[in-house]
């Protein structure tokens, strides 16, 4: 069990957004069993509450996450949680969109937590990377699966084989980081991005995310059928009618999530 004196993960609701904060700054928010369970519980809360449209994952103390808590691992704690995998997020994230808000650094498993999110906001000068090879380990928490789909082959190989971190600016140039923020401003920038998303239809958001994520597994022959199975119910929803009516009437839509 963890000896942390306060919750390892904090949650706060802000206008339809659930801010999920890794709260172990004394160990640079390293992932132990309590963090994994806390993130998993927060994602369950996000997906299970119709008042929440989006989640933001961030870290306390001026940094995002240093990866797995090796000391806790040696003591027998597991940083994996159920079918959600490493940190309670790497294998199965949320149905709703997630934004990572990175300060300081996101390395090893910490970078993999960020890569499990759908959008990434990082402070200028933040360091991101997968240094596992320096310890004769492998970045098996998702980085080697996600990065080849998001970055050029040779860039991924350099990251994986050297283990050296890169500044957020380089990841921004490669498209992995959506927005850069001044140091100390990553969460504010993530909230600004979230505000542009949460005003949209919740059914459309969830369906769009599902299609973008799953289409890599579809053949050319089946992609239209599978996309239609996900998007079809959105087009026939009450929210779709409301969106069209609101546009025609020049007013803001009122979503019902059905």
Q: Are residues 15 and 51 in the same domain?
A: yes
- Our answer to whether residue 12 is catalytic in this structure is no
Say if CB 213 and CB 94 are below 8 A apart: no
Q: Are residues 94 and 68 in the same domain?
A: yes
Place 237 in a pLDDT band, splitting at 50, 70 and 90.
Answer: very high
Query: CA–CA separation, 132 vs 161, rounded Å?
Result: 9
Q: Are residues 184 and 223 in the same domain?
A: no
Among candidate residues 77, 103, 124, 132, the one labeled active-site is 132
Determine, yes or no, domain membership for 258. Answer: no
- Check which CATH number belongs to the domain holding 186 and give it: 3.90.226.10
Determine, yes or no, domain membership for 2. Answer: no
Determine, yes or no, domain membership for 254. Answer: no
Q: What are the tens digits of pLDDT across the range 78-109?
A: 999 999 999 999 999 999 999 999 999 999 99
Q: Are residues 95 and 216 in the same domain?
A: no
Determine, yes or no, domain membership for 106. Answer: yes
Among candidate residues 12, 26, 77, 112, the one labeled active-site is 112
Task: Record the pTM.
Answer: 0.94
Q: Are residues 32 and 137 in the same domain?
A: yes
Place 2 in a pLDDT band, splitting at 50, 70 and 90.
Answer: very low
Q: Could you tell me the residue range of the domain that residue 180 belongs to?
A: 9-198
Q: What are the tens digits of pLDDT across the range 188-236?
A: 999 999 999 999 999 999 999 999 999 999 999 999 999 999 999 999 9
Q: Are residues 116 and 75 in the same domain?
A: yes
Structure tokens at 54: 């989006």
Determine, yes or no, domain membership for 112. Answer: yes
Say if CB 94 and CB 52 are below 8 A apart: no
Q: Are residues 114 and 207 in the same domain?
A: no
Structurally, the chain folds into a number of domains equal to 2
Q: In what order do the strands lie in the sheet with 179-181?
A: 9-14, 17-22, 54-59, 98-102, 119-123, 179-181
Q: Are residues 193 and 213 in the same domain?
A: no
Determine, yes or no, domain membership for 255. Answer: no
Residue 107: its H or E element: strand 105-107
- Our answer to whether residue 112 is catalytic in this structure is yes
Q: Are residues 176 and 208 in the same domain?
A: no
Q: What are the tens digits of pLDDT across the range 104-129?
A: 999 999 999 999 999 999 999 999 99
Residue 47: its H or E element: helix 33-48
Residue 1: the pLDDT is: 42
């Amino acid at each position: 069990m963890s000896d942390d004196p306060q919750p390892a993960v904090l949650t706060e609701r802000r206008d339809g957004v659930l801010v999920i904060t890794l709260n172990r700054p004394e160990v640079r928010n390293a992932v132990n069993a309590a963090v994994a369970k806390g993130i998993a519980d927060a994602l369950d809360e996000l997906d299970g509450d119709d008042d929440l449209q989006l989640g933001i994952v961030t870290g306390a103390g001026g940094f995002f996450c240093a990866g797995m808590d090796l000391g806790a691992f040696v003591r027998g704690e597991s940083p994996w949680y159920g079918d959600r995998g490493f940190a309670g997020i790497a294998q199965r994230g949320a149905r709703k969109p997630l934004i990572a808000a990175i300060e300081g650094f996101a390395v090893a498993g910490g970078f993999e937590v960020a890569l499990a999110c759908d959008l990434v906001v990082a402070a200028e000068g933040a360091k991101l990377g997968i240094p596992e090879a320096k310890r004769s380990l492998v970045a098996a928490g998702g980085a080697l699966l996600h990065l080849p789909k998001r970055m050029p082959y040779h860039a991924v190989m350099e990251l994986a084989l050297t283990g050296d971190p890169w500044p957020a600016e380089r990841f921004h140039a490669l498209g992995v980081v959506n927005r850069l923020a001044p140091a100390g401003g990553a969460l504010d920038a993530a909230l600004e991005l979230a505000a542009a998303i949460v005003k949209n239809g919740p059914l459309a958001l969830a369906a769009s995310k599902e299609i973008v994520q799953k289409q890599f597994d579809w053949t050319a022959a089946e992609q239209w059928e599978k996309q239609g199975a996900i998007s079809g119910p959105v087009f026939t929803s009450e929210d779709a009618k409301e969106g069209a009516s609101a546009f025609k009437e020049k007013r803001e839509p009122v979503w019902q999530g059905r």
